[in-house]
Amino acid sequence: MTSEFLKYQAQTTPHPLALEISHANGSFIYDTNNKAYLDFVAGVSASPLGHNHPRVIRAIKQQLDKYMHVMVYGEYIQKPAVELTKLLAKNLPKPLEKTYLTNSGTEAIEGALKLAKRATGRSEIIAANKAYHGNTMGSMSVMGFEERKQAFRPLLPDVRFINFNSIKDLEKITTQTACVILETIQGGAGFIEPANNYLAKVRKKCNDVGALLILDEIQPGIGRTGKLFGFENYNCIPDILVTGKALGGGMPIGAFTASTNLMDLLMDNPKLGHITTFGGHPVIAASALATLKEITESELIPQTLEKEKLFRKLLVHSLIKDVRGKGLMLAIILDSAKITNQLILKSQNKGLILFWLLFEEKAVRITPPLTISEEDIIKGCSIIIDVLNEIQQA
């Protein structure tokens, strides 16, 4: 099917990995030759319970038997969406209470940016260099990587960039600023954590000038960093929280959450301030609800920190310069893009799935399902060390 894949399905790179998938289960994906691949990527952090988790599958099937799409977002009362937003509120600190469900992360970012403009009446948006927030026009405008966006200009006006973790740059946040948008942990940049109470300092500056703080938790969110939400590690509560990826439990979703006062602004002046046909889809909401219940009712969240320790103990090699990140959001830092490519491709041949980060060419992503066993962590890390030995000896 490779030639049809390349001929009919639009590609994003000239060299896709092109693994032909037969099925997937737990921490393993199987190709059409029935070769098993241990999954250290989890669909780029979007399959937190691994593949085909029974609780998620059951919830989806039960909802399928009742109803699928019946009406555009927000008009009818559909239990899965109501229960999902209620459970999010229960697990979030005040004043984060009301959630708007979207179809993807980038759409949730668009909604959050619109809400910040509507709430403040200001237009300036401050984002971070090397930030990634999605690929639609608004999200791309706040992407801090010129090379990937110059072909699509003009983008949103009034966007300014600061360096993540620079206290000096906080001066750029002023009474002109509608919002500051940051990833809680910078993903594409190489899994860069906020340092020296940075997010709390951004929070304070935003309060001082009346700007809103948007935190993008699309990657670190939903249990991956030892807390349900990444921001809980860093002494800072955003005005608008954006989630996605893992929230759907393998189904497409995005969400933005804010206080009731803020969120209700989208209802009027203008009315229908943000609308979508499929956001809050009952089957997807059922999958998300089952996923969120499983993650919050089990020991998976504290276990991420134990599993991180195991990864750090095993990922020791002279070609590994650093292991960055937190919990099960880890990146191996190597010496060159060449070694990164070799490690990812050779590991795939040996049955281990690894992946790149968007902007940091020396990084290899390790974001396995939260459910991965210690035995499989040991197995996957030994493949990585074997491949690094081969690269070193070549």
Question: Of 109 and 315, which CB lies nearer to ligand PLP in the complex structure?
Answer: 109
3-state secondary structure of 201: helix
The residue number whose beta carbon is nearest to ligand PLP equals 105
State the minimum distance, in angstroms, from the CB of residue 63 to ligand PLP. Answer: 21
State the minimum distance, in angstroms, from the CB of residue 41 to ligand PLP. Answer: 12
State the minimum distance, in angstroms, from the CB of residue 188 to ligand PLP. Answer: 7
The amino acid sitting at 347 is S
Question: Of 191 and 381, which CB lies nearer to ligand PLP in the complex structure?
Answer: 191
- E strand segments, the chain: 21-25, 28-31, 36-39, 98-102, 124-128, 159-162, 177-183, 212-216, 240-244, 254-258, 322-326, 329-333, 352-353, 355-356, 363-366
State the minimum distance, in angstroms, from the CB of residue 254 to ligand PLP. Answer: 6
State the minimum distance, in angstroms, from the CB of residue 96 to ligand PLP. Answer: 18
Q: Three-class SS string for 282-335?
A: HHHHHHHHHHHHHHHHCCHHHHHHHHHHHHHHHCCCCCCCEEEEECCEEEEECC
Using alpha carbons, select from 77, 79, 100, 76 the residue that is nearest to residue 88. 100
Using alpha carbons, select from 296, 256, 299 the residue that is nearest to residue 280. 256
Instruction: Give the residues lining the site for ligand PLP (CB under 6 A).
Output: 104-106, 109, 132-134, 183, 187, 216, 218-219, 244, 254
Distance CA 178, CA 211 (A): 5
Question: Of 45 and 63, which CB lies nearer to ligand PLP in the complex structure?
Answer: 45
State the minimum distance, in angstroms, from the CB of residue 139 to ligand PLP. Answer: 7
Tokens of 130: 């090397």
Question: Of 78 and 219, which CB lies nearer to ligand PLP in the complex structure?
Answer: 219
Question: Of 28 and 355, which CB lies nearer to ligand PLP in the complex structure?
Answer: 355
Question: Of 139 and 342, which CB lies nearer to ligand PLP in the complex structure?
Answer: 139
